[in-house]
Amino acid sequence: MPTVDIEALLRSLALGCGARRILEIGTGHGDATLVLATTLPSDGMMITMEMDAATAGLVRERLGAAGHEHRVSVMVGEATRFLHKIAGPFDLILQDSHPQSYEQMLDRLVELLRPGGLLVMDHVAASGGDETMVTLRHRLAADPRLHTSFLQVGDGVSVSVKRAS
Ligand SMILES: C[S@@+](CC[C@H](N)C(=O)[O-])C[C@H]1O[C@@H](n2cnc3c(N)ncnc32)[C@H](O)[C@@H]1O
């Protein structure tokens, strides 16, 4: 069976849930941003947050070259400063920033997600026995607001569906 990478998984998840509003924490070089932007319908939108201004500038150029600049907003700065200023609901949220920040942002990300929406977290098996990730995985598995699956994709991906309350 061919290996699944995170981009292929994201494309399937976004298309599968019919995502029209997508949020990404941690833009990086924009690989996931570009993939997710291509899944949006014509009236869809995406916000991506990146703390490094130079990196964000390069991604804006990539988005422009691909014709997605009008549908994707790149917010530059510390994501925790922005999360309480934006409004949900989002259909799909990708957490791909610094793993040490995942727990701190978790509650707000769940609030921003629509019931039935997907919260995807990358690197949840990073560093094997890293205590931060162990704690996070236990928290995700026990969270009554979510139904979470852990996938062996890259260094671990969690996919959580927000339950209807
Ligand atoms: C693993 S990379 C993201 C990879 C990207 N999603 C991709 O598919 O190419 C992580 C990025 O998150 C950014 N980052 C880490 N912590 C952040 C935070 N608290 N707020 C905003 N950006 C953050 C880093 O600067 C880095 O560019």
pLDDT in tens, 93-151: 999 999 999 999 999 999 999 999 999 999 998 765 578 889 999 999 999 999 999 99
Atom 2 of ligand 1, nearest CA residue: 28
12 phi-psi bin (left φ>0, alpha ψ -120 to 50, beta other): alpha
- Does ligand 1 have an atom closer than 6 angstroms to the CB of 52? yes
Sequence ranges of the domains in the chain: 6-162
The pair of three-digit structure tokens given for residue 118, joined into one six-digit string: 């997907």
In this structure, CATH architecture of domain 6-162: 3-Layer(aba) Sandwich (3.40)
User: Residue 52 Cα, ligand 1 centroid: separation in angstroms?
Assistant: 8
Nearest to 158 by CA among 112, 89, 111, 110: 110
Dist. CA 95–CA 19, nearest whole Å? 16
pLDDT digits (tens, 9 = 90+) for 36-83: 999 999 999 999 999 999 999 999 999 999 999 999 999 999 999 999
Positive/negative CA dihedral, 60, 4, 152, 13: positive
Q: What is the pTM of this model?
A: 0.97
